[in-house]
Amino acid sequence: MPDMKVNLAGMTMKNPIVVASGTFGFGREYNEFFDLGELGGICAKGLTLLPREGNPAPRIAETPMGILNSVGLQNPGVDAFIKEELPFLRQFDTKVIANISGNTPEEYGIMCDKLAAAGVDMIEVNISCPNVKAGGLAYGTRPDLAAEVTAMARKHAGSVPVMVKLSPNVTDITEIAKAVESAGADAVSLINTIRGMRIDVNTRRPVLKMNTGGMSGPAVLPVAVRMVWEVANAVKIPVLGMGGVAKGEDAAQLMLAGATAVAVGTSLFADPYAAIKVRDELAAIADRQGLASVRELTGGVKPW
């Protein structure tokens, strides 16, 4: 079988499959199904500096080929994660990626200080969050704001690699990717959810209490493949590809588009073994193609 090891910004993983933040909690429930050490990495549920209760229900709704969510970053806070969840995750032979969201650059810096000291393997900086200083605009929609947060995270993360999670809800995602690369990002991950909405035609109310939410699931895969391809050709830092991955072929598409590794997310809700199946199917594809290493897939697309 092909060598499945990959190196993502200096972090060596036994295979290129990561579980996406917000879809795996802190791994406790999925540990009842399989050994978490079989994964290349676990990206934990998004953390904020202080605990958050999240948005009011209803906050999840099904869509054709996916879901809409407006969970609102419900989480116990970074300190509780370090004290209660990180020791649990450290039992397993897998890389631990902490995902963080903040309202100000200073909050990102404080969390990076704490997480770097706690010894996580990587920090994923979610810049698709409201920016209080910019009147509610998301950091991820403006290159200057994205760069500001990235620089703050990089300054406080020490030797821990910083990966910036990019929003697809922009005109040109490569502009944001270049900005965070220039500001010191070690890697980028994409795509985050696509903003969407559903309306109940009988009540005439939005299905979600917050009106709109982030769409994920198989329907977004072609968008993710396109954006990964664009970003991989625009920056020199590695890419963690995600968005609609449900089988090995999906992961292979993202890698051919330029991703070094791939995250599995929404499909885990339908099948808790989805990430393991994607890993095995990806290995089988590489084997059928006679590859010595799965790394040979990265960037291998042949445009017309």
**HSE-CB of 218 using CA atoms within 13 angstroms:** 12
CATH of 6-297, one of 1.10.10.10, 1.10.630.10, 3.20.20.70, 3.30.360.10: 3.20.20.70
Average pLDDT over residues 254-283: 98
Integer Cα distance of 256 and 151 in angstroms = 30
Is a pLDDT exceeding 80 seen at residue 244? yes
Residue 141 burial class via C-beta count within 10 angstroms: exposed 0-12, middle 13-18, buried 19 and up = middle
CA dihedral sign, ordered 123, 166, 43, 77: positive
Distance CA 186, CA 190 (A): 14
pLDDT of residue 259: 99
Cα(62)–Cα(230) distance, integer angstroms = 29
Q: CA 84 to CA 73: how far, in whole Å?
A: 18
**Catalytic residue numbers, as ranges:** 129
Mind listing the pLDDT tens digit for each residue in 70-102?
Answer: 999 999 999 999 999 999 999 999 999 999 999
> Is 285:252 a contact under the CB 8 Å cutoff?
yes
Q: Please say whether the beta carbons of 145 and 153 come within 8 A.
A: no
pLDDT tens column, 217-229: 999 999 999 999 9
Nearest to 44 by CA among 105, 146, 115: 115
pLDDT of residue 132: 74
Residue 233 contacts by C-beta under 8 Å, 6 or more apart in sequence?
258
Report which of 39, 176, 184, 49 is spatially closest to residue 109, judged by C-alpha positions: 49
Q: Does the pLDDT at position 53 exceed 80?
A: yes
Q: Is the pLDDT of residue 129 over 80?
A: no
Bridge partners of 8? 11
Instruction: With residue 264 as reference, give the H or E element that holds it.
Output: strand 261-264
pTM: 0.97
To the nearest 10 degrees (0 to 180), the angle between helices 143-156 and 173-182 is 30
Domain positions in the chain: 6-297
Q: What is the pLDDT of residue 130?
A: 73
